[in-house]
Amino acid sequence: MAATSPRTTLPAPGAAGDLAWPWWPLLPLYPYGRRRTLVRELIPEQLWSFEQLQGVFYVAVPIRMTVARVRGGLMLYAPVAPTAELRRALAALEQRFGPVITIVLPTASGLEHKLPVPAMARAFPQAAVWVSPGQWSFPLNLPSSWLGFPSGRTRVLGEQGFPHPDELHWLSLGPLNLGLGRFQEFSCLHRPSSALLITDALVAINPQPPELFNLDPTPLLFHARDRGDQPLQDSPELRLKGWQRLALFASYLRPEALNVPPLGQLLGQAFRPGCRNARSYFGLYPFQWSRSSAAVFAELQAQAVGGVQVAPVLERLVFPRAQGLLLEWLRQLARLPELRWLVPAHYDAPVPCSAAQLLQLAEALERRRWAPDQGDWGYLAGIDSWLLRRGVVPEQPLG
Ligand SMILES: [Fe+2]
Nearest Cα to 168, choosing from 92, 94, 87, 77? 77
Distance, CA 111 to ligand 1 centroid (Å)?
8
- From the CB of residue 214, how many other CB atoms can be counted at a distance below 10 Å? 16
Q: Are 37 and 65 in contact (CB under 8 A)?
A: no
Give the single-character DSSP code of 187. Answer: E
- Ligand 1 centroid from CA 346, angstroms: 7
* Mean pLDDT (whole number) for 83-91: 96
The DSSP code sequence of 278-327 is GGGGGG----EESS-HHHHHHHHHTT-BTTBB--HHIIIIISTT-HHHHH
Cα of 27 vs centre of ligand 1, distance in Å, is 13
pLDDT in tens, 38-70: 999 999 999 999 999 877 666 778 999 999 999
Phi/psi for 46 (5° steps) reads -130, -45
Spatial separation of the C-alpha atoms in residues 233 and 220, rounded to whole Å:
10
DSSP 8-state code for residue 318:
I
State in Å: Cα 320 to ligand 1 middle. Answer: 18
Distance 252 CA to ligand 1 centre (A): 15
3-state secondary structure of 158: strand
Cα-to-centroid distance, 271 and ligand 1 (Å): 35
The answer to whether 333 touches 171, Cβ cutoff 8 Å, is: yes
User: Which amino acid is it at 359?
Assistant: L
Of 397 and 228, the one with more pLDDT: 397
Residue 176: CB atoms within 10 Å = 21
* CA 28 to centroid of ligand 1, rounded, Å: 15
Quote the ligand 1 centre to 296 CA distance (angstroms): 23
Model confidence over 108-144: pLDDT tens digits? 887 889 889 999 999 999 999 999 988 765 555 666 6
The CATH architecture to which 8-204+335-360 belongs is 4-Layer Sandwich (3.60)
Full-model pTM: 0.88
Residue type, 251: S
> How far apart are the CA of 269 and the centre of ligand 1, in A?
34
In the sheet with 195-197, reading across from the earlier edge strand, the strands are: 168-177, 182-190, 195-197, 341-343, 351-352
Give the Cα separation of 242 and 280 in Å (integer). 14
**Where in the chain are all domains bearing CATH 3.60.15.10?**
8-204+335-360
- Of the chain, the percentage scoring pLDDT greater than 90 comes to 61
User: How many Cα atoms are found within 13 Å in the side-chain-facing hemisphere of 208?
Assistant: 5
CA 165–ligand 1 middle distance (angstroms): 24
**In the predicted structure, residue 331 carries a pLDDT above the cut 50:** yes
Banded model confidence at residue 346, pLDDT cuts 50, 70, 90: very high
**Ligand 1 midpoint to CA 63 (Å):** 7
Please give the distance, rounded to the nearest whole angstrom, from the Cα atom of residue 199 to the centre of ligand 1: 6
Q: What are the backbone angles phi and psi of residue 88, rounded to the nearest 5°? A: -65, -45
Residue 201 alpha carbon to ligand 1 centre in Å = 9
Query: What separation in Å is there between the alpha carbon of 121 and the centre of ligand 1?
Result: 19
Nearest CA-CA partner of 355 in 342, 369, 370, 368? 342
pLDDT at 395: 80
Distance from the alpha carbon of residue 104 to the mean position of ligand 1, in angstroms:
14
Alpha-carbon gap, residue 377 to 255, rounded angstroms: 7
User: Is residue 27 pLDDT above 60, yes or no?
Assistant: no
Q: Tell how far the Cα of 268 is from the centroid of ligand 1, in angstroms.
A: 37
Distance 171 CA to ligand 1 centre (A): 17
- Three-state DSSP string of 342-389: EECCECCCCEECCHHHHHHHHHHHHHCCCCCCCHHHHHHHHHHHHHHH
pLDDT at residue 291 in the model: 87
Query: According to the model, what pLDDT value does residue 6 have?
Result: 45
Chain segment 267-319, per-residue pLDDT in tens:
666 666 666 666 666 566 667 787 899 999 999 999 999 999 999 999 999 99
pLDDT of residue 1: 32
